[in-house]
């Protein structure tokens, strides 16, 4: 892995959003509502301080601070804290893709791989630019009724642009019965 900066900013999608899609985005980006969700459903995420800073149908950006709650004994961000934020950057897109689907589609993570080329000692920003793959997988699961597997990557950058982590998550989508 190279320690040079990796440009991960996606091109903004020109597709107009449905009102419910904009509402989903607004809920994720609202600090109060997002933290309330984390407190109720993912308390470790609440206490870590992770957040979604950008989301569209094509990409999601999530951050995790470096600090007392996320630091390991080696004075870098603990890999589990990095993993939470990395999963958030892909998982928010997966949840966005299944939101309001009819017929309903179930989503679950079935695999993960990670690399840590440098120590994370600042805020780490994860960007997943593969939302289109997740939306396509959901459409295929709806159409076929079969399990569809989609693997997406997210890159974690330090404040100076240095790559500190790279995660690959494998998501499973399947149309629910009934």
Q: What domains appear along the chain, each with residue ranges and CATH number?
A: 19-175 (3.10.129.10)
pLDDT of residue 9: 40
pLDDT of residue 11: 37
pLDDT of residue 74: 93
pLDDT of residue 15: 63
Q: Give the E-state strand segments of 51-147 in sequence order.
A: 51-55, 60-64, 105-115, 124-128
pLDDT of residue 16: 78
Under 8 Å between Cβ of 141 and 105: yes
- 3-state secondary structure (DSSP) of residue 92: helix
Sheet with 124-128: strands ordered across: 51-55, 60-64, 124-128, 148-157, 163-175, 105-115
pLDDT along the chain (178 residues), means of 10: 39 64 85 87 88 93 94 93 96 92 92 97 97 96 94 98 98 90
CA–CA distances in Å: residue 20 to residues 44, 51, 135: 28, 21, 15
CA dihedral 104, 25, 49, 131 (to 10 degrees): 60
Residues 6 or more apart whose Cβ sits within 8 Å of residue 124: 63, 64, 66, 77, 82, 85, 156, 157, 158, 164, 165
Angle at 48 between CA 46 and CA 4, to 5 degrees: 135
Element (H, E) at 140: helix 131-144
* Omega of the bond leading into 69 within 30 degrees of 0 (cis): no
CA–CA distances in Å: residue 42 to residues 49, 76, 99, 170: 11, 23, 19, 20
Q: How far apart are CA 30 and CA 63, in angstroms?
A: 14
């Amino acid at each position: 892995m190279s320690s040079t900066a990796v440009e991960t900013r996606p091109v903004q999608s020109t597709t107009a959003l449905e009102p419910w899609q904009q509402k989903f985005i607004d809920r994720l980006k609202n600090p109060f509502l997002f933290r309330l969700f984390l407190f109720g459903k993912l308390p470790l995420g609440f206490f870590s301080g992770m957040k979604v800073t950008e989301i569209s149908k094509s990409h999601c950006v999530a951050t995790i601070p470096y600090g007392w709650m996320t630091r390991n004994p080696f004075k870098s961000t603990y890999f589990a804290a990095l993993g939470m934020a990395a999963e958030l950057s892909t998982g928010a897109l997966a949840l966005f893709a299944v939101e309001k689907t009819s017929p309903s589609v179930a989503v679950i993570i079935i695999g993960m791989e990670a690399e840590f080329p440098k120590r994370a000692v600042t805020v780490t920003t994860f960007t997943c630019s593969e939302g289109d793959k997740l939306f396509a997988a959901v459409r295929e699961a709806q159409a076929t009724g079969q399990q569809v597997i989609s693997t997406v990557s997210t890159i974690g950058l330090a404040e100076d642009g240095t790559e500190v982590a790279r995660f690959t998550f494998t998501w499973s989508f399947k149309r629910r019965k009934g």
